[in-house]
Structure 1
């Protein structure tokens, strides 16, 4: 009985077989699988394929055609930085995140600065700030007036969510929801 237990343990400690190096066909297969499963940007696809190459190595001739493959996928419409960015920005805006936080997310996704600027302009900062305050029960959406310590935490949370100081002050200083709609920056 002891020997069969040792056999099982030693088999689980065995080294795994090294994975086969990528060929042009297998690299294309991984790229297709990635874009069919995830909405992505050119840069995110490029990073993914680079990671696969680092894990497995390259069996093809010359350098792996990552850039050419990414561009071909973009031309075919499998990867679209604009639609990815717009979708992500709308989603974050609905959840209450501000322009700074949206910009950070789009930067991390590898979206170019000019395109980020265009996309950010489409998000209504005022509505995003109100959505965040509503969701977190801050300002006039709170059940009761917060203590100074809680107010400070709420202020910091809204700033971390990407909202400007003036917006945060207006929300935290409002007694009623109507005040926000009348004099909100």
Structure 2
């Protein structure tokens, strides 16, 4: 018997109808997603809606008919402790700050993940309380991390540093850092082992 070619096998797979959308399938999709990624409640909801829409479109079903199943699955994930917006906000904020996000930039990114203003403010307040130094030191460390990652200011080659000073200040300002802090960061001198 002759084996089908790759194109024939793909055509056979495409001809098969997509499996039905069930509560068990939605729950498996949620667990699979949460095994791989940390997520907020809204991120999980958006992901499940997208998957349901894709499968419903393939089957010719109406995605709105499965909205209640998605909400039930999200509620079960929250009740089981698999999704916690406060825990997600704290972890994501720490990651963003290490990568050099300003307070304004981090707040905007957390809001884009579907977190409420109250949760974002609580995470920012917890960060301020946990920092042994002043709040400005946290922001200064983030500005330096951003400059290092983008190779701005003191992290540029010495012969091009003065030429790109204004551009570096603008990059830090666009990232959400105040002008005075951006100027201190760009004009700072670093030790060779710091860079």
2: CA distance between counterparts of 1:25 and 1:69? 9
Instruction: Tell me, yes or no, if structure 1 residue 18 matches structure 2 residue 11.
Output: no
Look up the match of 1:131. Answer: 145
Q: 1:125: Cα distance to partner?
A: 1.3
Take 1:51 and 1:160, find their aligned partners in 2: how far apart are those partners? 32
Tell me, yes or no, if structure 1 residue 163 matches structure 2 residue 167. no
Mapped partners of 1:135, 1:56: distance in 2: 40
Match of 1:49 in 2: 48
Report the equivalent of 2:162: 147
The total of aligned residue pairs comes to 170
Partner of 1:101: 105
In structure 2, list runs of 5 or more residues that go unmatched.
129-137
**CA offsets 1:88-116 (integer angstroms, 9 cap, x no match):** 11111111111122122211211111111
Runs of 5+ unmatched residues, structure 1: 179-185
SS of the residue 1:64 aligns to: helix
Give the CA deviation at 1:29. Answer: 1.3
Q: CA RMSD in A?
A: 2.8
Cα separation, partners in 2 of 1:71 and 1:143, compared to 1, 3 Å: same
Equivalent pair of 2:49/2:67 in contact (CA under 8 Å): no
TM-score normalised by L of structure 1: 0.77
Aligned to 2:119: 115
Deviation of residue 63 (structure 1)? 4.7
TM-score, length-normalised on structure 2? 0.74
| Counterpart in the other structure of 1:29 | 28
